[in-house]
Chain A
Amino acid sequence: MSEKAVAKGLTREFVQRLSGEKGEPRWMREHRLRCLAAFRKLPMPRFGPSLAELNLAELEYYARPVAPVERWEDLPEELRHTFQALGLPEAEQRALAGLGAQVDSEVVYRSILEEVRAQGVVFTSMDKAVREYPWVQDYFMKAIPPEDNKFAALHGAVWSGGTFIWVPRGVEVAIPLQAYYRMQTEAVGQFEHTLIVAEPGSSVHYVEGCSAPRYSRMALHSGMVEIFAKEGSRVRFTTIQNWSKNVYNLNNKRALASAGAAVDWVSGSLGSKVTMLYPTTVLLGEGARTENLSFAFAQEGQWLDGGARALHRAPGTTSRLVSRSVVQGNAKAVFRGTVYVAPDARGAKAHVECSTLLLTPDARTETIPTLNAENDDVELGHEATVGRVSQEALFYLMSRGLSEAEAMTLIVNGFVSPILKEIPVEYTVELRRILEMSLAGGTG
């Protein structure tokens, strides 16, 4: 960390002022300062994509270009159009239990269905939760401690906004809760924190989407997601990532699954310049399960470094990590699949599957599996394939009247369909449209 960056924004004074302006309790102010100290000590990631162009000294660590509103109509016109084009107000009416929207550092809009509120579900901004519920302290960055990595520490020091969800014991939220994140200001850093606490026997599906206008200067998104899935609960976390190509997307996501709990991570990654993201589930209780289903579409200039981790720390736990990547232009897609089985996690089952489709000669990919079992009563499976679009299949589809772009789209869609079918249809429409547009632009 250069002194310049410290001088520019990341000072103790800045962090203290941020905490003060948010009216935070003392524990949070102290937590932020501990994170700042950790951030200064920790090294940059020693693996994966280069972060050389990410100038931490130039970032705006806090921006609030838009005041919060109660109704969509009260948002500034341009932003209202953006959200409308994304279909958010419509989705809110039709298919969501609740919706939040954040611009840069602060949540600007939030709603929750009356029935869902009546079930006792809490769906609010993280800032508000920190002020209102002292017990949030027992969870906040307890799944991912500041010392875990440099960007976790940075996040902890300057986090702002995000979502807090608490689902009471036995309550099932039937339709998804959603949040939408937008980065509006040039060279901004967005650090929202999402915390989900699912009490025993409850279930919830949360969906997050995002976008940003494209600027020439680099921006940073470094969010954190922590999920506490208690006994027998079910949590599904879906992410559709479509940041513009000047965004460094360096996130931390981790879930702790108690006995009999199920945590599913589903993600579609399309945007950003660089992504580093390895959602992790720690299977802490007997019979806990996790699935991680991800697809990535990397295009010219992108390096999408993704992965999934399952840490089996209890007997009879299962994990399934499945990834499908499509790589175009000179892009690179990496999948790091990590499975660890602890000595006493007998009868654990893990399956890692990673397939990549290369559309162009310059497209690059890497699969880095790490399977480590410390007892021998486990079932581990691993498959990895890399292929190119079959010219015979392409001709076959064209011989029935489909143009090359249509045929290509169909083949690529077919390839990612095992993941897409897990994503609510409202979002796959958008995903397919993006795929189609990119593939229609030619594959050369």
Chain B
Amino acid sequence: MAVLTVEDLHVSVADQPILHGVDLELSAGRVHALMGPNGSGKSTLVMALAGHPSYRVTRGRALLDGEDLLALPPHERARKGLLIAFQYPPEVDGVRLREFLRLACGERCIAFCEFQKAYPQALARLRMDGFDDRELNVGFSGGEKKRAELLQVYLLRPKVALLDEPDSGVDVDALRFIADAIRELAAGGTAVLIVTHYPRVLDHVPPAEVFVLDQGRIVRRGGAELAERIGEEGFEVVRG
């Protein structure tokens, strides 16, 4: 059963059409992968679904649990259960990680006592115990930013998680616990989409379905083996 359905989605950035009709379904409790060359529009898809004002949807629709997602402002989308992990999260001065997540959890109706329990667990899961009092992403290394992104999604337990390159720039050990956290998310019922360039993360979290995006269109769908082939032979295999 698809929680998120994207139909014929066209998106422009700065009046430049980037996505030219994307169709996609994500199912509850499953992991999906989105691959594609640099500049093919993967992040554009993620940002447009999250409602970033610079990404303008010119055609098509997206339904979350059958409800029109695109009509909602960004925070309503999050409250309804769609969260993203940013490929390049911005730094937010003076806002402490804990304080921010407490607020965000409030918006997702996670009670304070529940937060008190889940938050330290999530920190431990992503090996971020020392980051509690740090300002959001400020001075984080590349890999730490990735972990902090996943930490947030992991803690907030959305219906749909769009993870934009959660594995880029992370070391081998981190890759393992990031993969574990993603698996756990899916096991809890979240529909996960991993945007990635590397089949390696998918070895740890086998995807039920792999989508390949090229020049703003889904050009191929397949099982986990599709990711393997792309990993070995490059995107030529899907261009035919």
A interface with B by C-beta (< 8 Å):
390-393, 395-404, 406-407, 410-411, 413-418
Q: How many A-B residue pairs have CB under 8 A?
A: 77
A393 lies within 8 A of B92 (CB)? yes
| Dominant secondary structure at the A interface | helix
Residue from the list A391, A399, A413, A418 in contact with B50, Cβ < 8 A: A399
Which residues of chain A have C-beta atoms less than 8 A from B93's C-beta?
Answer: 414-415
Contact (Cβ within 8 A) B100 A410: yes
Cβ-defined contact, B53 with A396, below 8 A: no
**Are A406 and B92 in contact, CB atoms less than 8 angstroms apart?**
no
The 4 A-B residue pairs with the shortest CB-CB distance, nearest first, are A414-B94, A401-B107, A401-B78, A414-B95
Majority DSSP secondary structure for residues of B touching A: mixed
Chain A residues contacting B90 (CB-CB under 8 Å) are 390, 392-393, 396
- Assess A401 versus B75: contact at CB under 8 Å? Given A395-B53, A396-B89, A414-B135: yes
Q: List the A residue with the shortest CB-CB distance to B107.
A: A401
Does B79 sit at the interface, judged by CB under 8 A? Answer: yes
| Residues of chain B in range 39-91 having any CB-CB distance to chain A below 8 Å | 50-53, 73-75, 77-79, 83-84, 86, 89-91
In chain B, what residue has the closest Cβ to A421?
B94
Interface residue count for B (Cβ, 8 Å)? 29
**Does chain A have a CB within 8 A of B104?**
yes
Instruction: A392 to B88: give the CA distance in the assembly, Å.
Output: 10
B152 in the interface, Cβ–Cβ < 8 Å? yes
Partner of B94, one of A391, A392, A395, A417: A417
**In the complex, residue of chain A having the shortest beta-carbon distance to the beta carbon of B75:** A398
| Nearest neighbor of B77 in chain A, beta-carbon distance | A399
Bound CA–CA A403/B104 (angstroms): 10
Contact of A401 among B53, B94, B104 (CB under 8 A): B104
15 contacts between A and B (CB under 8 A): A395-B52, A395-B53, A397-B92, A399-B83, A400-B75, A400-B100, A400-B104, A400-B107, A400-B152, A401-B78, A401-B108, A410-B99, A413-B94, A414-B95, A415-B94
Asked whether, in the complex, the Cβ of B73 is within 8 Å of the Cβ of A398, the reply is yes
Q: Which residues of A contact B152 (CB under 8 A)?
A: 400
CB proximity of B107 to chain A, nearest CB, Å = 3
Contact check, B103 vs A410: say whether CB atoms are below 8 A apart: yes
